[in-house]
Amino acid sequence: MSNRLRRSKLQPSNALAITLLLFFAATPGGFAQLALPGAIAPAPEGSVAAPADAAGARPGGEGRVKPLAPKLPSEDAIVGQMLYLDGSRSAIEFQRSGDETQVARLTLSGDRLSRSGETCSVDVAETPLQLQARGSRTGLRRYQLDFPACPFFLEVLDGAVLVTNDGKACELEEADCRTDPAGLWGMATAAFDPKRANDMLGTRARVEQTIRNDFKALYEKTRQDQALRTLLVREQAGFSSWREEICRSYGQEAEYGYCALRVTEARALALAAQLAKGFKKQAGSNEATGKDDSRGTGKRRSR
C-alpha cells in the first residue's frame, strides 16, 4: 500500500487557517489562554510532559528560562522484552552485549510467495543481529538493523519500537515468504489487561493535551517565519492520519488504543525536543507528517 497521504485540495492559506481553528478550538480560551513554555524540570526517562514553573512567570514570557530537551526512552525500555508487530505477528527480542544493544531473536511473518493467500513465518537464524545508530529528526533513538535480506530502521519508544523501511516488502525467496516489518512492535494483545483499558485511553488524552500546548508554543515561537509556521501546521495536521495508518491493524486497538498511545507519546517527545532545540525544516522530510521520506514510512496490509 502506498505510504503517501492524500493531499488536501484546499489552498495552503485556507488549509492553514482551518487547521489552526480546529486546533485552537480544542483548548478552552484559544490564544487568550496561551502561555509560552516555562522552565522544565528534569523528567523521568521517556516522559512526555514536565511541570512548568509558572510561579515567577511574567506576561509575554519574560523571566522564563529556555525549556530543556526531554529525556527520551532508552534501550532499557525494550531489552529483554518480546515485542510483536501489531501485537500478534512478527516478533523481536533485544539483548545487551556489553555497551551494545543487539537483536537476540527475530521472527518475520508474511505471505507465501508461491501460494497467494497462505501465510508464512521465518525464524531468522543469523542472530544476534547488530544495530547501527542513525540520526533521527524526531530526536528518538534510531537504529538500522544489520540484516541484508530485510533491512529496516527502528526508533525506540516506551516498551515498543516503531519500524520503518524503504517502502518495499522483503522477499525472502529461500523461505518462500514475503514480509513487511513496517509498523509498531509492542505489547502482545494477549497480555492486555481489561482493567487498564480506561487508564490507557486517559493517558493518551493527557498526552494529546501536552501536544496541543507544545504545538501552540512552537507556533508562537516561529511567528517571524511564515514558511516554518506553515510547515509546522502541515506536520501537525498530518499526524493524526499517519497515526491511523500505523495503528489501524494493531490488535484490539479500538478497545485499548495501545498503539495510538505509544505513537502519540513519540510525537509529544518530538515536539518537546523541537521546543528546546528549535523547529526547522529538514532536508528530505515529508512536510505533511514530519517523517523522513528517505527511510520509508508506509504501512502495507500484506504481511
Residues 252-285 pLDDT 10s: 999 999 999 999 999 999 899 888 887 666 544 4
Q: Quick one: pLDDT at residue 217?
A: 92
Sign of CA dihedral 152, 156, 162, 167: negative
Please tell me what DSSP assigns to residue 174. G
Secondary structure element (H or E) that encloses residue 300, with its range: none
Q: Quick one: pLDDT at residue 208?
A: 94
Q: Quick one: pLDDT at residue 88?
A: 95
Q: Quick one: pLDDT at residue 303?
A: 41
CA distances from residue 206 to 44, 202, 247 in whole angstroms, order as listed: 17, 6, 19
Counting as low any pLDDT under 70, the low residues of the chain are: 1-70, 279-303
Is there a contact between 161 and 83 (Cβ–Cβ < 8 Å)?
Answer: yes
Torsion of CA 185, 191, 195, 200, to 10 degrees: -10
Is there a contact between 153 and 177 (Cβ–Cβ < 8 Å)?
Answer: no
Residues 6+ apart with CB under 8 A from 228: 222, 279, 280, 281
Q: Quick one: pLDDT at residue 177?
A: 96
For residue 151, give the C-alpha cell: 533491512
Assign 153 to helix, strand or coil: strand
Residues 6+ apart with CB under 8 A from 75: 94, 96, 101, 141, 156
Is there a contact between 143 and 132 (Cβ–Cβ < 8 Å)?
Answer: yes
Is there a contact between 121 and 109 (Cβ–Cβ < 8 Å)?
Answer: yes
Average pLDDT, the chain: 77
Q: Quick one: pLDDT at residue 68?
A: 53
Alpha helices in 101-225 (DSSP H): 197-221
Other Cβ atoms within 10 Å of 62 Cβ, number: 9
